[in-house]
Amino acid sequence: MSTLTATPVNVEQIREQFPVLNQLVNGKPLVYFDNAATNQKPKRVIDALLHYYEHDNANIHRGIHTLAERATKAYEATRHAVQAFINAKHTEEVIFTRGVTESINLVASSYGRAFLHAGDEVIISGLEHHSNIVPWQIICEEKKAVLKVIPVTETGELDMDAYRKLLSGKTKVVAVCHASNSLGTINPIKEIIKLAHEFGAVVLIDGAQASAHLHIDVQDLDCDFYCISSHKMYGPTGTGILYGKKELLEKMPPYMGGGEMIKEVTFAKTTYNDLPYKFEAGTPNIGDVIALHEAINFINELGKDAIAAHENDLLVYAAKKLAAIEGVKLMGTAKEKVSVQSFVIEGIHHFDIGQMLDARGIAVRTGHHCTQPLMDRLGIEGTVRASFSVYNTKGEIDQLAEGVERIIKFLK
Ligand code: 7TS
């Protein structure tokens, strides 16, 4: 794999760029392992946001004054950076949203309203985050379409034979995650997309857990829609991306009505703006979109291969360390994973572990991680989830393992 040949990252140098890491939490140096929920922001991203509000703040696309021109230019520059980041064919295929949740809702609502009919089928998977379940349930209920689910195996992988059997001429949409937020599983999305296309279905990929770790080439994948959250890739919260193939986006009705998304409004009839503005009603999250550009630069400068190699190192190390602790059971042991390790401890509630780790300055996530159907499938209520980023170290994983070991001894 290309990750093996990547130049190693200099973690100390990287850590210096993240001011938030330099603090004590409950008297202990912060160990931040909640990166799958949101990762931390390098200073250059924070500075870009500050710079925008201190120098360029203006509403975009409408004004002719200098500040409006500067803000518009910087906002549109991020669109170009995203286009390159995911290798989209056209700039107007990149739509800014508030995050993956809004991107999926946009597609489910707009595409679903126009193209789903009674008896049609939508396929999702048993690994999905609630935000790639509920929007499809809403539109399926409205359109009397049927929601089907690809089952998950014991290791946390998709049952591809079952997927093949679910596909039929009735399948209109397939919506699956690139990587699972609870278990880390990387799905074989290229194959999933190819199979769906054989039946004429469109495919949406939830890339929330992939964008900071995996290469994304939407043309090579041939996906119809790809959704990204800025805040899971070192960028600000409240901004995200929907990539959609131009010919599909052009056929879809608007998601929200208002300013910016129109060409002309009369009380008799409104005509809509061209892409991408047709889907960007109202004043967008200008400052955060501009700061996202710096997050993309940060990732590009380090290189995804180098990031993935380091994170994979951490994942393998953490899995080994945690599995060696008596009473710990790893959840999610797929062959291909992003740097997420969930685990449970028999007889101890995940919430207690999380709280006691926090007392040691270690931030992990506990609970169902917005994947309740997956937890049901695994027969558990929730997990402790440690997720690793490029600024984490093996020393921090040692602290996690030591903490877990002591907590088990204390509580049992
Ligand atoms: N899809 C996946 C796979 C996710 O992990 C998340 C957020 C979302 C969608 C929603 O993204 P948002 O940016 O619109 O909120 N996942 C998590 C998590 O695992 N813990 O907190 C948020």
pLDDT exceeds cutoff 90 at 412: no
Residues 359, 399: Cα–Cα separation, whole Å? 12
Question: What would the two tokens of residue 191 be?
Answer: 């194959």
Strands 270-272 and 171-177: unpaired
Which mutation among 105, 124, 127, 131 tests ligand 1's pocket best, with the greatest number of atoms within 8 A of CB?
Answer: 131
Residues 157, 333: Cα–Cα separation, whole Å? 8
DSSP state, 55?
I
Give residue-wise pLDDT tens across range 41-63. Answer: 999 999 999 999 999 999 999 88
Give residue-wise pLDDT tens across range 135-181. Answer: 999 999 999 999 999 999 999 999 999 999 999 999 999 999 999 99
Question: What would the two tokens of residue 373 be?
Answer: 């159907």
Rg (CA), the chain: 22
370 part of the active site: yes
Domains identified in the chain and CATH numbers: 11-42+303-411 (3.90.1150.10), 46-300 (3.40.640.10)
Beta carbon of 134 within 6 Å of any ligand 1 atom: no
Beta carbon of 211 within 6 Å of any ligand 1 atom: no
Beta carbon of 110 within 6 Å of any ligand 1 atom: no
Q: Which residues pair with 97 in a beta bridge?
A: 240
* 372 C-alpha to ligand 1 centroid (Å): 13
- From atom 6 of ligand 1, which residue's Cα is the shortest distance away? 208
Beta carbon of 31 within 6 Å of any ligand 1 atom: no
Q: pTM for the complete prediction?
A: 0.98
* 55 C-alpha to ligand 1 centroid (Å): 32
Q: Which ligand 1 atom sits nearest the alpha carbon of residue 103?
A: 14
Give residue-wise pLDDT tens across range 289-307. Answer: 999 999 999 999 999 999 9
pLDDT at 3: 45
pLDDT at 261: 94
Beta carbon of 385 within 6 Å of any ligand 1 atom: no
